[in-house]
Amino acid sequence: MSESPETHSLLSASSQLNLTDTEEIDDKEFDIPQVDTPPTLESILNEPEDEDESFILDDPSLLNIENIDAHSCETSSLASSDSGDRAHFKRRKKVADSFSSIHGSVLRHSILKGVSAQITSAADKVDAGLPTAVVVSSVIAVGTSHGLALIFDTHQALRLCLGSTTVGAQYGAVSSLSINHDCSRLLCGFAKGQITMWDLASGKLLRTIADAHPPGTAVLHIKFTDDPTLAICNDSGGSVFELTFKRVMGLRTCDSRCLFSGSKGEVCCIEPLRAKTELRDHPINQYSLLAMASLTKILIIGLKPSLKVWMTFPYGRMDPASVPLLSWHFVAIQNSVNPMLAFCRGDVVHFLLVKRDESGAVHVSKQKQLHLHYDLINLTWINSRTLLLLDSAEKLHVIDRQTQEDLETLDIADVQLVYNSSHFKSLATGGNVSQALALVGEKACYQSIGSYGGQIFYLGTKSVHVMMLRTWRERVEHLVKQERFTEALALAWSFHEGTAKAVIGLAGDPNKRKGVVADKMVEILFQYADRALKKCPEQGKLEVMEQYFEDMVPVMVDYCLLLQRTDLLFGQIYNKLSENSVAKSVFLECLEPYILNERLPGITPQIMKELLTYLQENGMMEDIETCIVHMDITSLDIQQLVQMCWENHLYDAMIYVYNSGMNDYITPMEKLFHAIGPTLHSGKSLTDEQVVMGNKLLVYISCCLAGRAYPLGDIPEDLVTLVKNQVYDFLICLHSQESDSEEEVYPYIRTLLHFDTREFLNVLALTFEDFKNDKQVVEYQQRIVDILLKVMVDNSDFTPSQVGCLFTFLARQLAKPDNTLFVNRMLFDQVLEFLCCPDDDSRHAERQQVLLELLQAGGIVQFDENRLIHLAERAEFYQICEFLYEKKHMYAQIVHCYLRDSVRKKEVFNYVHDILSIPGYSPEEKQSVWHKTMECVEELISVDPSKAADLVATHFADEIQVIIEKNKDQHLLFQFLKSLIDPRFREGAQMNQEILQMNPNIIELYIELLCQYSPMDVKEFLQLSEHYRLDETNQITQKHQLYEASAYLLEKKGDVQGSFQVMLKVLKSKLSKLSNNEELNEELLKDIEDTLEETISLCQRNSHSLNQQQRDALWFPLLEAMMSAQKLLKGPASQQTSESLKHLTKRVLNSMTGFIALPSVLKQILHDPVYGKGKLGEIKGLILGMLDTFNYEQTLLETTTNLLNHDLHWSLSNLRAAVSRGMNPKQDFCSICLQQYKRRQETAEEIIVFSCGHLYHSQCLQSKECGMHLQGHMRWICYKCNSSTKQGKHRDVMAEVRRGKASSLVQNKIGFGHPSGSTSGSVKSSSEATLDPQQIQAFDELRRLYKGTSRHAVLTELSHTRGNERYGLHNRAQGGFASSSIFLNENFKLHLAPPPATDD
């Protein structure tokens, strides 16, 4: 697209051309309607703004270095202003505290009514056809589908009609247009490939070019360069041609040169670099740069002085239907102006900056990319900072180049944009184009959009539209007309601060620009105020009116303050808003946040008074106080203010008024003292209001003594010393001014001490720190200390805590190296006697804490330590004792202190552990603590047996026997040993197992105690522990009649029969109880079931290691016990009980069938009277249950066998495939002699091929000692793999071959017969009955690859047998094996149905 000047108007530019001399067009001939009165520029500017605005040609000034980005500041966001809102500020006090990125209406959309009407008329009246192309310079040229070019001047009047419909029928539609830089020549390209040149001054046809490019292709682009004799043409074949215009002896000629052939990649867009007049001398222009976009890449070439490619840039991945776009513009970067190329295909815009260095070379550098979320079909520069993008949905986007912000989006679907698809498809010449180019042409609109002077022209099917940037004033006024005042002010403020984008019309000095914008903002504010009052809802709820003004008034206040126009705010704006009472109220309320943030320094007395009156009338007293302390109140009535503050308890405001208004710092203190003093002296409790006053008084005194103003700021420097002395004099005065005869001396200090002793002393401590070198202040400090001692010592009004606070304060001051205070030491002794009085049990913890703080603050230097220890022990101040013992390193005594202190007893364990573990203590100190702990070990166990056990296990493990002997309390000893030995309860350090192993009597003692205090846990402990003697422990359990534990011990000892007899005895006793009980006892049945389960588990665990006779001795007595119990049942519940026992008996039978022969079991059952009587139905259930078990086991065995066979077959199949796979040699020559094996056929010789791909002659391998005879067969190794890089390991490899291994997995031997033999090239296979080493290695490799948990591995256990016994096949199913079996896991199940029964 052509570049053109940017500041002068199109009218001024066209006035330089002699357009008045052009030949008049016969309107009657073409039936074009006559424009009666062409519109003037003034009339166009005065037309209302709507969608049909007239065309305004505005040509901005040429780009130069001085003013290049002077119109706007390139920042990414608009200004943001702090509104001053407090965190607790009410919701209704809304202030415009920030500005969103408001750009307003950036584009002005106008329709060229004159041009549009005449295009439509020409199409209807003279068959000019529809518009197809447009180009704009000092004139507007529109090409039509019937080969005409209509030329319009700046007033939209038709001045020339070039061509005719006759020629159009021959050439086809106008497919492209171009005007040279001085607007004297017009080039027209046609759909059938012809090119014509016209003189725009005379309307004459200068050239008709028919052979510039191959025939049968449409002219997609025709572009003038800055050289008027040079143009560029791009046709639908994708080729680019350079056209050179010459005039020899009056004859006009045109030479054509192919720059780019479409056979190498079709070019569909070209853009020569064209400079404005002021930039014609730019050094880059001498190269006559041309950008070309093909379907795959971008090229930048130089046409002069010789053809040269400066850059190529591939697109990368993109949509093949997207349109390549190019656009040049000169931009200023780093104080230099250089051309920048913007190009795009799809949704990413790339920017390339082109520079020329001193050597004359052209450099192209990539700039920041612009990523979009839509595909583009047009890209145009408006100016050096702003681009106009048209997406595939026909939406315009105004983009700021540097910030990449989308300033505005406008839908132009109503334009009905003309597309150039037919030319890209070359329909006029038969459609002889590639599919890729035709696909791109679907959205091509290159010739429908033209730019000139910052204006973008869009050619529709019936109209011509123009887009241009609005001036800053137009953008603001556009919002004002829509009554969007808040957005208008925000946009104007962005102009004021220089943060706006796409700014037009603001140039020159920044201060002047700000002044112009500020005046406009003031004008908008007045309009906003008038509109707010005019549009105010006259009727309705008060809340509606308040909300209405809350949305407007804070905005006015905010912008007045931003503009620093408080005169305007408190003058005209306030006067306008005062006309409405609600608006006035909102105005006054919204001033508060600005006052608090010190943004209203110049508030007038009238406004200040009205604000305070308004807040008082509405009961907003807290707001009054916060406002007063931020205001200059010297112009107000001080007495009235003080009275209001005191009556409404605004103490901060009252103090501020006295201090700032009258420089009086004492009167506020007097008022506050008089408010709280009488109540304190009478001994009554203070109200919440009085507590607040007292706290404010303390803070106020602290501020005055520190030189700080209250509640904020600093006291003037010339008053600091005076105020400080006045406050000291006030505090130490003997009596108050209005004292009576009953007032005690020093009332003010006495009042503060009674109010809060600690905080008052903290205030004094802070002031003592700040004024160390002031001699007068030091005297005041000593005087205050003397008064404090006089007031508090020997005064029963003060508690020990208060007296302790005083002496702690004094101790800290006396302990300082630069201390200047003097205190009589006898007073400290007096306080010590008072705090350590043993007869006073009240406030014991408080007195101890006070004395401890006194000592830690440095007061210990005031006392005799031996006397202090004596008094502390007498008063039972064990923390004091600990403090003193630690200073003397008497750590053993501290253990005693902990044990005697009822509050801190349990902390003794951590203390002893720290002393014995942490380095830093001497061996003697640790030894003393160790012995002291051993002396007190019984007391330690009584404090906490668990922590004592942890301590003993860590530091006293060797003395465990002594500790046990010392402890006489059996229950405490049990708790201690449980935490020390039992792993279920041990939390801390573990006991040394060697010590327990050497002293089994300790474990046995704990077992005996466990039998006494927790018999249910004995068996579980025996299972977890190891270090006990079986016989002695068995005696203990039998002594306490714990038969289950005894049975476990006997089984562990190996006496299975003895263990079984114990469990059988227990079971029989419980069955006997059940038989004697006439009623159903569910609890006893559950107990019998548990005992039976344990007995069955005992028999199952041990049956596999016993012979048949021993198994019978276990299982049959158990079965007999269960069956005999059913004979003795009696009572009404015997039937239910019998059923339960039969169910348990069935469980015994199911469990024993895995170990006992089935005939023996049946024989036992049939001999039993319970089952032997009656019909077979009595035992049918038992027999069928055993048969089901047998069927299940048979099915399980068959399934397991099938799975094993399947896995074995699968493994062998894979092995066979691996070892029989053919070898693929890497080369056809021997790797040793380097000769092709096919050529050495004069003698029969074997060829050895290894799995690594190397190939050898057998003789060559033998010559390198890579083969040997083993077991009558030849074994080979690969020479290259094992010798070239591993020569040192050759012997090891041969040794592996001897052991049946080889380096390569498989080898094949191929033999060739003699040429005279019967079969040339026969293959000889060395088949062997056994696997060779290579195959063995392949098998090992296969097993390694498939190694892992599989169904094969899981089910392997099922194939194991239990020996040669008769019924061994049934052992697994019944679980009679070691506990490690997966079948002991209750969750493991094989859900297999028994095989169907046959009729046989």
SS3 letters across 26-71:
CHHHHCCCCCCCCCCHHHHHCCCCCCCECCCCCCCCCCCCCCCCCC
Q: Which residue has the higher pLDDT, 859 or 884?
A: 884
* pLDDT band at residue 773 using 50, 70 and 90 as cut-offs: low
How far apart are the C-alpha atoms of 917 and 356, rounded to whole Å? Answer: 78
How far apart are the C-alpha atoms of 156 and 153, rounded to whole Å? Answer: 5
Whether the pLDDT of residue 67 is over 50: the answer is no
Whether the pLDDT of residue 1346 is over 90: the answer is no
Per the CB < 8 A criterion, the answer to whether 554 and 601 are in contact is: no
Task: Name residue, tokens 């315009």.
Answer: 396
Q: What Å distances lie between residue 507 and 201, 412, 503, 510, CA to CA?
A: 36, 31, 9, 8
> Could you count the other beta carbons within 10 Å of the beta carbon of residue 184?
16
Q: What burial class does residue 321 get, using C-beta atoms within 10 Å of its C-beta: 0-12 exposed, 13-18 middle, 19+ buried? A: middle
3-class DSSP assignment, residue 196: strand
How far apart are the C-alpha atoms of 819 and 842, rounded to whole Å? Answer: 35
Per residue in 1262-1320, pLDDT tens? Answer: 888 887 777 667 778 888 887 654 444 455 555 555 554 444 444 444 444 333 332 22
Q: What Å distances lie between residue 209 and 144, 198, 269, 290, 431, CA to CA?
A: 19, 12, 21, 22, 22
Q: What Å distances lie between residue 1160 and 1115, 1152, 1153, CA to CA?
A: 11, 11, 10
Question: Has this prediction a pTM greater than 0.75?
Answer: no
Sheet holding 140-144, edge to edge: 131-136, 140-144, 149-152, 158-162
- Contacts within 8 Å (CB) and 24+ apart, 1161-1164: 1161/1119, 1161/1186, 1164/1116, 1164/1119, 1164/1120
How far apart are the C-alpha atoms of 425 and 635, rounded to whole Å? Answer: 85
Per the CB < 8 A criterion, the answer to whether 362 and 310 are in contact is: yes
User: Token pair for residue 887?
Assistant: 């200073």
Residue 152, H or E segment: strand 149-152
3-class DSSP assignment, residue 458: strand
pLDDT, position 517:
92
Whether the pLDDT of residue 309 is over 80: the answer is yes
Per residue in 1121-1130, pLDDT tens? Answer: 887 777 777 6
pLDDT, position 109:
93
Q: What angle do CA 1115, 1119, 1122 make, to 5 degrees?
A: 145
**The most confident of 415-419, 543-547, 918-922, 1336-1340, by mean pLDDT:** 415-419
* pLDDT band at residue 102 using 50, 70 and 90 as cut-offs: confident
131: preceding bond cis by omega (within 30 degrees): no
How far apart are the C-alpha atoms of 1187 and 1087, rounded to whole Å? Answer: 30
pLDDT, position 32:
41
How far apart are the C-alpha atoms of 853 and 830, rounded to whole Å? Answer: 17
Which phi and psi (to 5°) does residue 308 adopt? -150, 135
Q: What Å distances lie between residue 997 and 966, 981, 1004, CA to CA?
A: 21, 12, 11
Per the CB < 8 A criterion, the answer to whether 1307 and 1251 are in contact is: yes
DSSP state of 387: E
pLDDT, position 42:
40
HSE of 576, CA atoms in CB hemisphere, 13 A:
18
716: preceding bond cis by omega (within 30 degrees): no
> Could you count the other beta carbons within 10 Å of the beta carbon of residue 933?
24
Q: What angle do CA 1146, 1151, 1156 make, to 5 degrees?
A: 105
Rg (C-alpha) for the chain, rounded Å, is 55
Per residue in 1217-1240, pLDDT tens? Answer: 877 777 778 777 888 888 876 654
Per residue in 1025-1072, pLDDT tens? Answer: 887 888 888 888 888 888 888 888 888 888 888 888 888 888 888 888
Which phi and psi (to 5°) does residue 467 adopt? -115, 135
> Could you count the other beta carbons within 10 Å of the beta carbon of residue 1192?
16
Q: How do beta strands 464-469 and 455-459 pair?
A: antiparallel
How far apart are the C-alpha atoms of 326 and 338, rounded to whole Å? Answer: 16
Query: What separation, in Å, do the N-terminal and C-terminal C-alpha atoms of the chain show?
Result: 101
How far apart are the C-alpha atoms of 1072 and 1081, rounded to whole Å? Answer: 13
Q: What angle do CA 1023, 1026, 1027 make, to 5 degrees?
A: 140
Helices 542-550 and 553-562: angle between axes, nearest 10 degrees: 20
User: Token pair for residue 1335?
Assistant: 């195959």
How far apart are the C-alpha atoms of 1349 and 265, rounded to whole Å? Answer: 60
> Could you count the other beta carbons within 10 Å of the beta carbon of residue 295?
19
Per residue in 260-283, pLDDT tens? Answer: 988 888 999 999 999 888 888 888
Per the CB < 8 A criterion, the answer to whether 242 and 252 are in contact is: no
- What mean pLDDT comes out for the span 591-607? 80
Q: What angle do CA 80, 86, 91 make, to 5 degrees?
A: 90
User: Token pair for residue 1332?
Assistant: 């060779």
pLDDT, position 141:
95
How far apart are the C-alpha atoms of 950 and 942, rounded to whole Å? Answer: 14
Paired strand residues for 160: 151
How far apart are the C-alpha atoms of 391 and 424, rounded to whole Å? Answer: 19
Q: What angle do CA 1145, 1147, 1152 make, to 5 degrees?
A: 95
Task: Name residue, tokens 């490619």.
Answer: 309
* pLDDT band at residue 45 using 50, 70 and 90 as cut-offs: very low
Per the CB < 8 A criterion, the answer to whether 785 and 777 are in contact is: no
Helices 1158-1167 and 1134-1152: angle between axes, nearest 10 degrees: 160
pLDDT, position 771:
57
User: Token pair for residue 1069?
Assistant: 């006793």
- What mean pLDDT comes out for the span 233-256? 90
User: Token pair for residue 999?
Assistant: 């002293």
* Lowest mean pLDDT across 355-364, 620-629, 1273-1282, 1377-1386: 1377-1386
DSSP state of 113: H
* pLDDT band at residue 1370 using 50, 70 and 90 as cut-offs: very low
- What mean pLDDT comes out for the span 653-661? 86
**CB burial string 654-670: b at 16+ within 10 A, e below:** bbbbbbbbeeebeebbe
Paired strand residues for 341: 328, 352
* Lowest mean pLDDT across 69-83, 130-144, 366-380, 412-426: 69-83
User: Token pair for residue 226?
Assistant: 């800055």
Q: Which residue has the higher pLDDT, 1212 or 1362?
A: 1212
How far apart are the C-alpha atoms of 1011 and 1019, rounded to whole Å? Answer: 10
267 residue type, one letter: V
Closest by Cα among 125, 111, 106, 117 to 27: 125
